[in-house]
Amino acid sequence: MNGHVDAVFDALGDATRRQLFSAVASAGPVTATELAGDLPVTRQAVSKHLGVLAAAGLVTARRSGRENRYEAVPEALDDARTWLDEVGRSWDARLRALRRHLE
């Protein structure tokens, strides 16, 4: 658990980037130009958002001809999911104990 988790949450905190991440995940290796064709954003904006997703480890880029091809890295979500699971489980246990304490 570290800054990586924060980078993932920050990256996915933006609706356009979330949409972009799903698009990359379902399309497979895809270029910014191809993605911009399917989304209501410019190619430049797509590139910028892909940069943020790549910095968070959510996508990787591979050079292919004149453009990068982007691929999703679903495992990058694991630490963030672990954080949510652990915090949720902890509160479930604490609140069960609170109920026993009060009732």
Binding site for other proteins (CB under 8 A): 1-3, 5-6, 9, 12-13, 18, 77, 80-81, 83-84, 87-88, 90-95, 97-103
- 3-class DSSP state of 31: coil
| CA–CA distances in Å: residue 57 to residues 5, 18, 54, 72 | 10, 14, 5, 9
What token pair was written down for 62?
A: 């591979």
- 3-class DSSP state of 59: strand
Q: How far is the CB of 70 from other proteins (least distance, A)?
A: 20
Closer to other proteins at the Cβ: 55 or 95? 95
Closer to other proteins at the Cβ: 31 or 80? 80
Q: How far is the CB of 55 from other proteins (least distance, A)?
A: 15
